A and B are shown apart, each in its own frame.
Chain A
Amino acid sequence: MKGSLRPAPMVRLNTLADGTVGRLVSLGGERSFRRRLMELGLLPGTQVRIVRRADIGGVLELEVRRSRLSVRIGEASEVYVVAS
C-alpha cells in the first residue's frame, strides 16, 4: 500500500525463481505450521530467498534471517510473496 507505485503482484512462494528474493505477504496451511514458520522468523514483511529446489524431491530450500530452511513445494504454495 505504498502510495501510487504499482504494487508488484502477489505470487505463490514456490513460483519464485531460484536465487530470487521475495517479501512474505501471507502464510497459509495449518495453524501449527504457520506458527512454526513465524517462530523461525518468517513473518509477513520478511525477505525470503529461494536457495534451490529439488523438483524430483518436491522440496524447496529457503534462506531467511541467515538461516536455511527446507519446506515442501506443496506447502510453500500456500505462502504468498511479492517479488522484490
Chain B
Amino acid sequence: MGTVVGIRRVAIAGNPNTGKTTLFNELTGSRAKVGNYPGVTVDRHVGELSLAGGSRVELVDVPGTYSLAARSLEEEIAIQAIAGLHPLERPDAVVAVVDATQLVRNLYLVLQLVELGVPVVVALNMTDRLEETGQAVDVEALSRELRLPVVAVAAARKRGIEELKREIERILEDPACATPGALWVPDQPLLMADLANVVRAVPAEWSAGSDARRRAFALWALLSVDEHDELRSMPGGLREIVERRRRLAEASGRCIEEEIIRGRYDWLDARAPLFLREAKRAPTRTDRIDRWLLHPALGFAIFLAAMTVVFQALFTWADPVIGWIEASFTWLGGTLERSLPNSLLTDLLANGIVAGVGAVLVFLPQILLLFLFLGLMEDTGYMARVAYLMDRVMKSLGLHGRAFVPMLSGYACAVPAILATRTMERRRDRLLTMMVVPLMTCSARLPVYGLLIAALVPAGQGRSLTQGLLLAAMYLFSTLVALLAAAVLGRTVLRGERQPLLIEMPPYRLPHLKSVLRLMWEKGSIFLREAGTVILVCTVAMWALLSFPKDEAAARASEERREEVRASLSGEEREHALALLERQQKGADLRASFGGRLGRLLEPTIEPLGFDWKIGIGLIGAFAAREVFVSTMAVVYGLEGESESSEALRARVRSERWPDGRPVFTPLVCFSLMVFFALACQCMSTLAAVRRETATWRWPVFLFVYMTALAWVASFGVVQGGRLLGWT
C-alpha cells in the first residue's frame, strides 16, 4: 500500500473513565484543537499524531460511551464518528481504549466496534492497576481471542505509548490484520430472522455496500430505537420495522435487546478465562476512601467543606487577580486617553476597545479556577460521588445531580457556571441549569446592593446589622427564585422525561495534572475566542450608545465656562471648580447620548416600578455588567468616579427628587430596584456565554426575555403592593 493520499484519520473510543482523555493527550502532545461535533454541543477534540514513519495522522476523540447504542443526539455521535456517517468522515482505524481492571464490560464496546468493519487496535489501559485489583490479563491470549492487535498501556504513567503508535501505524498499512469481522454472530433462529428482516431497511448510504456493516447497523437499530428516543437520523422505515419485530417478539415472551446483549456477553464470558485471571476481590483503596466520602453524615460534611473551598476560591481568591486586571486596563485606558490627542479614535480605543478587552479578561480567573476544581473532581472520580450524594436534593428540584457545582458557582459569577454545564450529558439538563444560574446572586450585584442598602439604611449605630440582614435576605430571595424557576421551567419549556439515575462510580485515581491544565487552557481559550468576541463587540456598542451623539454647543459652552474659571480662580479652588465642571459636562454628555435618550424613552415603562429616566440610563449601562450601574449613576449625577461606598454618591442618591419634589429613592423604590437587579438579566456576558454553549441565539433571547419580564412583574408588585399598603 503506502500510496494513500491526504491525511489519515484515527478515532479514539472507549467507555467513560478509562483514561481515554489522558491517552489522547499523551498521543497528541500539545497539538490539539477543540470544537463541537456538528449540530450538538459535544466537544470534539482533534489532535495530530506523529508516527515514526513520518506520516501525519489526525486523531479524533469520540465521546466516551459504554455502547454504540444511542437514544439522544449526543449519544448518536459515537456511531456516526466510528462508522463515518454524514457529515462525519470515516476513520481509517479506531483505537479502542479499554480499562483492564473492568475488562469484560469494556470489551462489550469493542465487539460493537469490530462489527462495523473498521480496523481496531485495543489499547489495554490501566494495566498498572491490575495487581491491586487481584487480576491478571494475558495480552497475547486476549489478542488471539479477539483477533485484534492489543497493546498494554498505562497512559497516566506514559507506558506503552510508543508501542501503541507503532501498532496504529501497522494497522494503517495493513488494515486486514485488525478487521476480523463480527466476533459474535447471532445464532438463535428467531433472532436471526428478526435481523434478516431489519437488515433490509438499513439505508444503503450507511452500509456502503458491506453486508457486515448492514448487519451491524441492524443490530444497532434494534438496540437504539425506543418509545422516547431522539434520534433524528433514524429513517422512518427502519424505526417501523424495528418496532414491529420487537412487538412480535415481546408477544411471544422474547426480548430482542436481551438476546443481543446476552449474546455478546456470553461470547466474552466464554472466552474470559482464557485471557483473564481473577483472584477473589479484596477491599481496595477506593473502598476505604468511600467509607468516609460516602458516609451518610461525614460524607455530606466533607462535601460541604469541599464546596466551601470551591466557593471561597471563586469568590475571594480570584478577587485580587480580577482587581489587578481591572486596574491594569483602567490604567491603560487612562494612559491612552492622556497621551493620545483628544479625538474620537482615542475615546474608542480607551473606553471601547481597551475597556472591552478588560471586560472579557476579568472572567478568566474564575473560569480557570472553576475548571481546575471541576477537572480535579472529574479526574479523581469524586464527581460521580457528588451525583450520588446530591441526587435526591437536585432531583426534587428537577435538576441533574451534576448541576450542583454550576449552581453553586453561580453565586460567584454566572459566566463560568454556564461554561461548566457541559459536565452534564443531556441537553435538557444543561439548558435548565443555564436558564436558572443567572438568577443566583452573583458578585456583580453586590456593589448595586451596597449602594441601595446604604441609601435605604443610612450608616449609624446598630445599622450594619440591618444592612447585613438585608443582604442575606437578597441571597435567600435569589436562591428561592432560582429554585422556583427551575421547578417551573423544568415542567414547562424544558420538560423532559425523568431519567433514571445510572452512574458509574469509578475507582479513585490521582488526578492527571496535565489533563487538568489542558482542560483549563482549553476552556479559557474557547471562552476568549467565542464568548469574548461577543462581549468585546457589545462593550464597543455600549460605548457608542453612551457616547453619541456629541452635543457640540454644550461642549463649547462648557469650554467657555472653564476659561472663565481659569481666569478668575487660582490654586486649589481652581482645580476643584474645574473638576466639578468636568463632571457636570460628563453627566450632560451622557444624558444627551443615545443611551440617555433611551433612558428617557424607557421612563414610561419603568415609571410603574418607581424608576425615573436617570435610573433608566443606569439600567442601560448595567447591561454591560451589573456593577456598571453604580458608575453610570455616578456619571449621570455628575459624580464620575465615585464608588458605591462613597458618601457623596450615597448622599446624592438620598437627595434625588422627581420634578415635583418627591424623593426618588424611597425605601420602597430601593427595594423595587434591588428586586429588579436580583431578577433581570442585566449582563451581556451571561448572554454571550449561553450563546456559546447552546450554539444558537434562541436560548439567550429566551433567557433575557423571561428574566426581564420576571423582574418587571416582581418590581411592579413590590412598588404597587407597597403603595396599596400605604408605604412609601
Question: Are B500 and A35 in contact (CB-based, < 8 A)?
Answer: no
CB-contacts of B52-79 with A (<8 A): 66-67, 69, 71
In the complex, whether A59 has a CB less than 8 A from a CB of chain B is yes
| A61 and B294 alpha carbons, distance in the complex (Å) | 10
CB-contacts of A32-77 with B (<8 A): 32-41, 43-44, 52, 54-59, 61, 65-72, 75
| A61 and B290 alpha carbons, distance in the complex (Å) | 11
Question: Are A52 and B294 in contact (CB-based, < 8 A)?
Answer: yes
- Which listed residue (A37, A58, A69, A72) contacts B504, Cβ 8 A? A69
In the complex, whether B495 has a CB less than 8 A from a CB of chain A is no
In the complex, whether A31 has a CB less than 8 A from a CB of chain B is yes
| A30 and B501 alpha carbons, distance in the complex (Å) | 12
Residues of A with C-beta under 8 A to B170: none
| A66 and B229 alpha carbons, distance in the complex (Å) | 30
Residues of A with C-beta under 8 A to B506: 68
Residues of B with C-beta under 8 A to A58: 391-392
Residues of B with C-beta under 8 A to A39: 66-67, 69, 108, 223, 261
**B 244-271 binary contact with A (CB < 8 Å = 1; else 0):** 0000000000000110011001000000
CB-contacts of B338-383 with A (<8 A): none
- Which listed residue (B67, B135, B504) contacts A68, Cβ 8 A? B504
Question: Are B281 and A59 in contact (CB-based, < 8 A)?
Answer: no
| A43 and B104 alpha carbons, distance in the complex (Å) | 13
Question: Are A35 and B69 in contact (CB-based, < 8 A)?
Answer: yes
| A35 and B242 alpha carbons, distance in the complex (Å) | 15
Known: A54-B388, A69-B504. A41 touches B226 (CB 8 A): no
- Which listed residue (A33, A56, A65, A68) contacts B500, Cβ 8 A? A33
Taking the nearest CB of chain A, how far is it from the CB of B248, in angstroms?
A: 16
Question: Are A57 and B392 in contact (CB-based, < 8 A)?
Answer: yes
Residues of A with C-beta under 8 A to B66: 36, 39-40
Residues of B with C-beta under 8 A to A40: 66, 105, 502, 504
Known: A32-B226, A33-B500, A41-B265. A65 touches B104 (CB 8 A): yes
Taking chain A's interface residues, is the majority helix, strand, or loop, or is none over half, making it mixed? mixed
In the complex, whether B387 has a CB less than 8 A from a CB of chain A is yes
Question: Are B223 and A66 in contact (CB-based, < 8 A)?
Answer: no
How many A residues, CB 8 Å from partner? 32
Taking the nearest CB of chain A, how far is it from the CB of B701, in angstroms?
A: 32
Known: A40-B105, A65-B104, A67-B102. A54 touches B389 (CB 8 A): yes
CB-contacts of B552-596 with A (<8 A): none
Question: Are B500 and A67 in contact (CB-based, < 8 A)?
Answer: no
Residues of A with C-beta under 8 A to B392: 56-59
**B 275-293 binary contact with A (CB < 8 Å = 1; else 0):** 0000001000010001000
Question: Are A75 and B501 in contact (CB-based, < 8 A)?
Answer: yes
Question: Are B500 and A29 in contact (CB-based, < 8 A)?
Answer: yes
Question: Are A70 and B505 in contact (CB-based, < 8 A)?
Answer: yes
Nearest A residue (CB) for B102: A67
Residues of A with C-beta under 8 A to B71: 32
Known: A56-B296, A70-B387, A72-B391. A38 touches B258 (CB 8 A): yes
Nearest A residue (CB) for B71: A32
Question: Are B226 and A57 in contact (CB-based, < 8 A)?
Answer: no
Residues of A with C-beta under 8 A to B507: 68
Known: A35-B223, A39-B261. A69 touches B294 (CB 8 A): no
Question: Are B133 and A66 in contact (CB-based, < 8 A)?
Answer: yes
- Which listed residue (B102, B227, B228, B299) contacts A65, Cβ 8 A? B102
Known: A61-B388, A70-B503. A52 touches B290 (CB 8 A): yes
Nearest B residue (CB) for A68: B505
Taking the nearest CB of chain A, how far is it from the CB of B70, in angstroms?
A: 10
Question: Are B502 and A43 in contact (CB-based, < 8 A)?
Answer: no
| A46 and B102 alpha carbons, distance in the complex (Å) | 15
In the complex, whether B101 has a CB less than 8 A from a CB of chain A is yes
| A65 and B103 alpha carbons, distance in the complex (Å) | 9
Q: In the complex, which of the residues A55, A66, A72 has the most CB atoms of chain B within 10 Å of its own CB atom?
A: A66
Residues of B with C-beta under 8 A to A72: 391, 395, 500-501
Q: In the complex, which of the residues A39, A59, A65 has the most CB atoms of chain B within 10 Å of its own CB atom?
A: A39
| A30 and B500 alpha carbons, distance in the complex (Å) | 9
Residues of A with C-beta under 8 A to B390: 57
| A27 and B286 alpha carbons, distance in the complex (Å) | 28
- Which listed residue (A35, A41, A54, A61) contacts B104, Cβ 8 A? A41
In the complex, whether B384 has a CB less than 8 A from a CB of chain A is yes
Q: Report 21 cross-chain contacts, Cβ distance below 8 Å, ordered by A residue.
A: A29-B500, A30-B228, A33-B500, A36-B66, A36-B500, A39-B69, A41-B105, A43-B258, A43-B262, A44-B258, A54-B294, A57-B390, A57-B392, A59-B391, A65-B104, A68-B504, A68-B507, A70-B391, A71-B501, A72-B391, A75-B501
Other than the given A38-B257, A67-B504, A69-B504, 16 more pairs (CB < 8 A) read A32-B229, A39-B69, A41-B104, A41-B105, A43-B258, A54-B389, A56-B392, A57-B391, A61-B505, A65-B102, A68-B506, A69-B505, A70-B387, A70-B391, A70-B505, A71-B501
Shortest 8 CB-CB contacts between residues of A and residues of B: A68-B505, A33-B500, A58-B392, A38-B261, A39-B67, A31-B226, A67-B102, A72-B501
